[in-house]
A and B are shown apart, each in its own frame.
Chain A
């Protein structure tokens, strides 16, 4: 099998994506920022930064701190709010040429519905990703730590749109499986996992946390093992595609996630230090899939043999 003949297409609900490579919300800006580096339209999809109903200024600095192989952040979802976003940015985003996945976060169950309804009136949106799990805003975790509330969010949004819904879950739970089951019952077409892991860094000399807001979320290569396990658990539990996220920086990382059970992978923190990571991954997939003797991505998804 030659690498050129590999079928990279994947399915999320009714949506067919040309390939499984996507970008993690909050790490890809509006996508436009990457156009100087490569042709963004080659990616299977693009997920933009979380949008909320009202404008948010974001958290006080410092918002970022490095750790070995990882990053701690407390950005706080700065964004201009839904109306300004639609007016100012959406027209430009339609020109990206890659299916656009809008990521929304509500302060209440109802907010999620309001946001979805507003965006659903606009053209050029391929799917929604529901950020039910941002650790950096008050109550941000609630929607994906309690199965009942998680299900309500999905039901509320499902009532507003027929577009595919991807529920993005938090890893900061004892067991992610019941949450996964709840969002699928609520109407999710796919599940994204994982968002960042809550954490903190301390400057003992100043007796202060390093981040301006104290706690933050850990991302980057160091969280990959945790993400892989959660993707596997979800793959074994629910019957919808899994979007794997967490520390993916090269094609081998991406393959690990696909084999573990992800149908789509998102590149996050790596976009900062290797801006071409997503494209490099896309170009590295066919030969690796061929090396497994397969002819399509779909054939390898979840083929991990657990002991």
Chain B
């Protein structure tokens, strides 16, 4: 990468105006932020670190995947995040109003790597792991990919984000809930099994997945026997988001078989799924 290229992709630390903060499920909101300096730098799979308070409680920023980049007449002018309200930081976020300014650092982390020649993609999301899916799907469409399937599972109808917020037009979206209140009853991995069985998911396809560790593990166990690689968007508790606190380690298997700590924020947050070593995996 040339120096100018890396400057153009470097994160910024600034404020943007909130253009919209709307509720899409009883617990999920989408915030749109005007950020013409940052938005053109944003790539699918990256995240931002949002200041949820100007005060010192909560002290740390909150990392959020970039849900979508807003385009105005072909120019990227802002971005959206999709978030569940679960604690003090996200409670502050959902109380913010249109017109207010919000501090952010971004874009942060790496972006998707689609193998040459891939013509199909399966994007697997569990719960609020649906955050980055729309941006990833849009990027794949922009690359000319035609066959994009999104498999999305959530707990129940209260947590199920409407399909139009999950993926752009032109994608096939499969929805399930644990209790069957929306879409199929069951786990998102069942869709993955179907796709593999029907020959619609092979080692030449691109797989992206974001969700809880239990889902990562299940997806990995399904894909591994078929030699299908996948890219996982991981989440760790973060102090800074840009590689200076060393607070966000996760364990990754190295080519020589050893296991090393990597930083979720700067080495990821995207990692090849089969290299990740989760809590409880054999060492």
Residues of A whose CB lies within 8 Å of any CB of B are 26-29, 33-34, 36-37, 49, 57-58, 61-66, 68-71, 73, 75, 78, 220-221, 249, 269, 271-273, 275-276
Q: Is the CB of B260 within 8 A of A272?
A: no
- The answer, among A58, A64, A66, A275, for a CB contact under 8 Å with B242, is A275
- The answer, among A29, A58, A66, for a CB contact under 8 Å with B58, is A66
Given contacts A27-B244, A36-B10, contact A62 B105 (CB under 8 A): no
Q: Is the CB of B11 within 8 A of A36?
A: yes
- Nearest first, the 4 A-B pairs at minimum CB distance are A29-B244, A64-B247, A36-B10, A272-B240
Q: Is the CB of B59 within 8 A of A221?
A: yes
Given contacts A61-B249, A275-B13, contact A69 B59 (CB under 8 A): yes
Q: Is the CB of A66 within 8 A of B60?
A: yes
Majority secondary structure of chain A interface residues (helix, strand, loop or mixed): loop
Q: Is the CB of B59 within 8 A of A71?
A: yes
Task: Give the shortest distance, in Å, between B245 (CB) and chain A (any CB).
Answer: 6
- The answer, among B59, B243, B244, for a CB contact under 8 Å with A66, is B59
Q: What residues of B have a CB within 8 angstroms of the CB of A37 in the complex?
A: 11-13
Task: Give the shortest distance, in Å, between B65 (CB) and chain A (any CB).
Answer: 19
Q: Is the CB of A75 within 8 A of B244?
A: no
Q: Is B239 close to A, CB under 8 A?
A: yes
Q: Is the CB of A61 within 8 A of B244?
A: no
Q: What residues of A have a CB within 8 angstroms of the CB of B248 in the complex?
A: 61, 63-64
Q: Is the CB of A63 within 8 A of B105?
A: no
Q: What residues of B have a CB within 8 angstroms of the CB of A269 in the complex?
A: 59
Give me 10 other A-B pairs in contact (C-beta within 8 A), A36-B11, A64-B238 excluded. Answer: A34-B244, A36-B13, A63-B247, A66-B59, A66-B60, A68-B57, A78-B249, A78-B261, A272-B61, A272-B245
Q: What residues of A have a CB within 8 angstroms of the CB of B249 in the complex?
A: 58, 61, 63, 78
The distance in angstroms between the C-alpha atoms of A100 and B240, with both chains bound, is 22
Q: Is the CB of A63 within 8 A of B246?
A: yes
Q: What residues of A have a CB within 8 angstroms of the CB of B105 in the complex?
A: 275
Given contacts A29-B244, A272-B60, contact A62 B237 (CB under 8 A): yes
The distance in angstroms between the C-alpha atoms of A55 and B10, with both chains bound, is 29
